[in-house]
Each structure stands twice: as C-alpha cells, then as structure tokens.
Amino acid sequence: MRDSTRLRTVLAVLLLISLTLVALELRSSGAGFTKSIRTISFNIISPFQKSARSFTDSVQNFGSTWREIRTAREKVKDLETENLDLKEKLANTDENRRRAAELDALLKIAGLGTYEIVPARVIAIGAGQDYSWTVSIDVGSKDGITADMSVISGSGLVGRTISVAESTTLVALLADPSSKVGARIGGKSELGFISGNGLPGELEFEIFDPLAEIKEGDRIVTWGSEGGSPFVSGVPIGEVISVKSAPGLLTKTAKVKPYVKLSTLDLVSVVVEAPRIDPRDSLLPPMPFTPTPTPAITVSPTPSPSQN
Amino acid sequence: MNIYKYVALISTIFLAVVFQPTFFARLSLPGATPDLVIVMVCCWAVTKGPEVGAIAGFLAGFLIDVAPPGAHLMGVASIILALIGYAIGIVGGGPSRSFTRPLVISGVGATTFFLFRTISGVFVGNDISLYNFSINFLTQGIYAAALAVFVYPGITFLDKKLGPVSRSDELRMQ
C-alpha cells in the first residue's frame, strides 16, 4: 500500500516538472530559462556527440575494411596480408577524396557567389522520428556564427542556423516544417516561398502570381533577405518536379526537389557574409541539355586571302 | 535501487541519447531510425518496475528535448516517455525468465512513442503519407525489438552486478 502511494507520488512529481518545463517554454517562446537550459546542455552534450561521431566514423571504416577482408580471403593466401593493408589504405583515401571533392564544390560555389563562408561538419542528425529536420554542426559562436545565417553545401541551399552555442550550431534544414525561404524562378523574376513539409526530397513552392508561368524543370534560387540574413540571395535551391494549380486559387504551388540531398549531409558551410553583388542565376548548375552549338568565330591577327 | 544503479541508469540513458543522432541516424537503414533511447527506457522498466520506468522515461525525454539537434517543445517528450515507462513497468515489469517479453514490450513501447511523435508532427504542419507512416511504424517496432536483444541482457547484467536485490525491491515488484 505504502509503495503504490510512493509510486503515484513519483509519477506525479515527474509529470509536474515536465509540465512546468512546457509552460515555461510556451511562456517565454524559446527564450529565458529554457533557453539557458538548452545552451548549457548543448555545451555539455556536444563534446560527447563529437567523440561519438568520430567513433562512428571509425566503426564505419572498420566495417568497410572488414568487408574487404572477406573478399580478399578468396584470393591467394600469400597476397592476403598485403591486400588487406592496401585496401585499408584505399578505403581511407576514398573517404578523403570524397571529402576533398565536397570541399572543392563548396569553395567553387562560395567563390562564384563571393560569399564569405565557414566550413563545418555535421555531427548529429535529428532522426526524423518526429519529422523535424534539424542537424547540429561543429562550428559555433567562437567561429563567428550567429543565428539566422544561411547554410549551404556544394550543390545548394541547406537551411539556416537557428541557435548557436559556443562550439555547436543548430541548423533547421529546408525540409523542416518551420522552414520558409523566399525564392524566385531562375531566369525570371517570379517570386514565391519555398516551405518544408517534413519530407527530405520534396519541398513546396508557392508562387504569388497565379498567372506566372512555371513548368517542370524550372530551377529555383533564393531571392535573398535584407542584409543577407537569414538567407543570402542567389543560392540554388532545387528543381520543379510538378506543378499544381487550380482555378480560383490565389497562388500557384509546385513541388520542388532540392539539389542538396538533405538526408545524407556531411560537409556544409555557413555564410557569414553576404555578397555585395547579387549573383542572380550564376550559381545554378548548367542546364542538363546542351544548347544548339553556335559557330565559333575565330579571329586571326593576320587574315589570309582564302578567308575572305 | 541503490545509488550505483541510479548512476548506471543515468549513464546508460545518457549514452543512448548521445549515440542516437550520431550513430543510428547515420546508418540510414530502410524505414525508421532505430530508437535506442526508448528501448533503454523499456528495458529498465521491464527489469525494475514502474517507478524506475517512470524515472527513466522522464530522464530520457528531458535529455531528448535538450540535447542537440532537438529543437522541439521542451517537456513534451518527458511527459510521454515517463507515462510509457510507468505503463510498461505496470504491465510488463516483474521477475520473469521469459526472453521474448522484453523484446515484444520494447517494440510496443517504440511504436507507441512513434505514434505520439507523429501526432505532434502533424500538429506542427507535417505532410505525412499513410504509406510512409505505416512503413516507419513497422520498421520502428522491428528495430526496437532487435535492439532489445542486446540491451536487455546488458541491463539485467548491470542490475545483478550492482548489488543484491533488496527486500524493498522485491516488494515493489509485486
């Protein structure tokens, strides 16, 4: 009897604490007491997550090495040890080469757009269990990051920073339901909003003008916010995959497939300074089809008589 | 529950919260992401009964809410998980030699938690198709049961190792 009273008291106390937290959070809407709890926990838990991340990396490396051992066993016994050694090295260089390629792409996009960026690695991914799409990255306020900065990767827009601790930053991805990005169709000036709906491969594009022309394959870039925060202008977002319009609606909507694969992010970068000149469409990837070749005009310094 | 067991409880749940987004979310398995945290809570609740279940659930929910990259409303996960831990302790707690029971219970616990999260996801404006939902629901249960195969023996081992079962513990199990 005494035990069941105790049990009920414990449960009641726990629920009361939780409800107090909910009430505090709702009242201060993400600032104040709950905000400081979050900041403290970020600073405590992030180092653990970083080491867990490197542990995961080594497990994955081990996994690929192990797989290679098994194939090597089928080969000649004498070569086995040598093979193993070489393949282990190969597995590591592959990973390094991939990372280098990603960095190259990042540098290229930042160079073209003249953005000033801080590169970062993703350390933890919100599991998508509750359909909220957030990740944390390994740079923070000490690297000059503040809230509401654009986060890009080699192929386009990733999201924006929402809260910053000393050495970690929380990023809301494009697919997060809270995400809303001002965007326009590349090559035209039609404006609209890109919003997430919890699915990584599909964004919603809402165009203001119901008569605007939009078709499959149209490419979407950010139109940019004032002062480049939260979104800098001219970053590629994605490609239209289907258009939905109904007569009588005030806006037209389209489904957009983002250029960035949001479910497998690794290297990203935070734009700390917006470009002085709007890059417009210069960052969009080249069109998939090649335009009809125009005859090249060769200018030779000394025209020969046969060319006249 | 002596002090060592509480330390074990806290550190196992902390570890689960740390590895959840850094390891399991990275595996990109088909369907849902395996939820180590809820399995941990279920196994503690099965081993030690409703009181420890509720405490474990509260703790896990709190950590899920405050640890990066969580950005949802603080306190909601701890309410849901504390209730799940409590209910599991009542229904499935107590001494038993059955090995399948903790697995089934972990599966049920994980899918229940997933259901709650999906509902809260719909509230914040997610577009969830029935197909996606059912796939995630099923895989979530299967992954949880599979994880429990490893987690449950570990927790019973810790429980045995960290001191004898006291008289009050025996009573609490009733």
pLDDT in tens, A247-296: 666 778 889 999 888 877 888 889 888 766 666 666 677 665 544 555 55
Contacts of B64 in chain A (CB under 8 A): none
Architecture of domain A118-273: Beta Barrel (2.40)
Residues 6+ apart with CB under 8 A from A224: A182, A231, A232, A233, A234, A274, A278
* Contact call for A126 and B118, based on CB within 8 A: no
Interface test with B, best of A3, A10, A14, A28 (most B CBs within 10 A): A14
pLDDT at A79 over 80: no
What backbone phi and psi angles, to 5 degrees, belong to A194?
-100, 125
Cα B33–B35–B39 angle (5° rounding)?
155
Compute the count of residue pairs across chains A and B with CB atoms less than 8 Å apart.
167
- What percentage of chain A reaches a pLDDT higher than 70? 78
Instruction: Give the pLDDT confidence of A189-214 residue by residue, as tens digits.
Output: 788 889 888 777 888 888 888 777 88
What is the overall mean pLDDT for chain A?
78
**What's the average model confidence in pLDDT over A40-62?**
83
Instruction: Give the pLDDT confidence of A89-110 residue by residue, as tens digits.
Output: 777 777 777 777 777 777 776 6
Rounded to a whole number of angstroms, the distance between the first and last alpha carbons of chain A is: 111
Residue A37: alpha-carbon gap to chain centroid = 26
Question: Tens-of-pLDDT digits for all 174 residues of chain B?
Answer: 788 888 999 999 999 988 888 888 777 778 888 889 999 999 999 988 899 999 999 999 999 888 877 767 788 888 999 999 999 988 887 666 678 888 999 999 999 998 988 887 777 667 777 888 888 899 999 999 999 999 999 998 888 888 665 545 555 554
Q: Between A18, A163, A263, which is nearest B79 by CB?
A: A18
pLDDT on residue B87? 92
Token pair 């809402």 is found at A206
pLDDT on residue B144? 93
pLDDT on residue B142? 93
**What's the average model confidence in pLDDT over A146-160?**
88
pLDDT on residue A105? 77
Contacts of B17 in chain A (CB under 8 A): 45
* Contact call for A45 and B68, based on CB within 8 A: yes
pLDDT on residue A308? 44
pLDDT on residue B60? 93
State which H helix or E strand residue A28 sits in.
Answer: helix A2-28
**What's the average model confidence in pLDDT over A33-38?**
81
Residues 6+ apart with CB under 8 A from A302: none
ipTM reported for the complex, 2 dp: 0.80
Instruction: Give the pLDDT confidence of A111-144 residue by residue, as tens digits.
Output: 666 678 888 888 888 755 566 788 889 898 888 8
Residues 6+ apart with CB under 8 A from B5: B48, B158, B159, B162, B163
Q: How far apart are CA B57 and CA B77, in angstroms?
A: 9
Higher model confidence: residue A224 or residue B87?
B87
pLDDT on residue B148? 92
Residues 6+ apart with CB under 8 A from B76: A18, A22, B61, B65, B120
Kindly list the structural domains of chain B, giving each domain's residue range(s) and its CATH number in brackets, ordered by start. Answer: 3-173 (1.10.1760)
pLDDT on residue A296? 56
**Domain residues of chain A, as ranges?**
32-113, 118-273
Q: Between A10, A53, A124, which is nearest B55 by CB?
A: A10
pLDDT on residue A236? 87
